Amino acid sequence: MDLSLLTTHISGYITPNATELDFLSSILIQRPFKQGEVLIHAGEPARYMVFVNSGHVMTYFTDDDANEHVMQFAAAGWWAGDIYSISNHATTKYSTRGLGNGEVLLLPRIAHQQLLEKFPAMERYFRMHFQNALIRQQLRFMESYTTSSEERYQKFVDTYPTIERFVAQKHIASYLGITPQFLSRIRKRIAEK
């Protein structure tokens, strides 16, 4: 199992030692996926934290009218999924789907707890990572009120430079909080510049 990307991510927060990485390697589940494959289904118990080892995934919820609302895109080197449900042992309201072929590393909820109890440095890593994720989420929420749709789209392209070839326009529009038709107009204006 290739842990180089995850090790790099962890090293951005702490300096992991060999014992911590060996234990982490022993509890992770390597899971390849195909384009369009649902890795986590809404309504199921939240069993895993998901690290994208290669490819891209999308986390979303489906409303009563069968409309998909995108909460997160995750590229290689990012964590994805439903942190609330993992933390509270609840069923998840979100599904996570592969956007192309790739691989995720699944960290089972129970094993995650063991990791945190056994290795305080790993607890610090996850705390710092989740803290940064919350900050990014709050900034994204604020930007939805303070920036134009075109600025949000440009930031999306800068953040996910290769993802557009894997994602339907309706999902990008959902993530940005606009209609697919308005996204088409934004793309056309940018292309004309």
* Averaged pLDDT, groups of 10, the chain, 193 residues long: 95 96 97 96 92 96 93 93 80 94 96 95 94 89 90 90 85 92 92 83
Of 133, 118, 101, 102, nearest to 27 by C-alpha is: 118
Are 156 and 176 in contact by the 8 Å Cβ rule? The answer is: yes
The CA angle 58-78-137, to the nearest 5 degrees, is 75
Q: Which DSSP letter does residue 93 get? A: S
| Secondary structure, 3-state, 10-47 | HHCCCCCCHHHHHHHHHHCEEEEECCCCEEECCCCECC
Of 53, 39, 58, 50, nearest to 7 by C-alpha is: 53
Angle of helix 149-159 relative to helix 120-146, nearest 10 degrees, comes to 150
DSSP per-residue codes, 137-177: HHHHHHHHHHS-HHHHHHHHHHHSTTGGGTS-HHHHHHHHT
Q: Any residues with CB less than 8 A from the CB of 152 and at least 6 apart, and which?
A: 143, 144, 176, 177
Query: Can you give the pLDDT at residue 181?
Result: 94
DSSP per-residue codes, 104-118: EEEEEHHHHHHHHHH
Output the CA–CA distances (angstroms, integers) from residue 191 to 101, 113, 172, in the order listed: 29, 48, 17
Query: Can you give the pLDDT at residue 101?
Result: 95
Are 98 and 34 in contact by the 8 Å Cβ rule? The answer is: yes
Task: Return the H-helix or E-strand segment holding 188.
Answer: helix 180-192
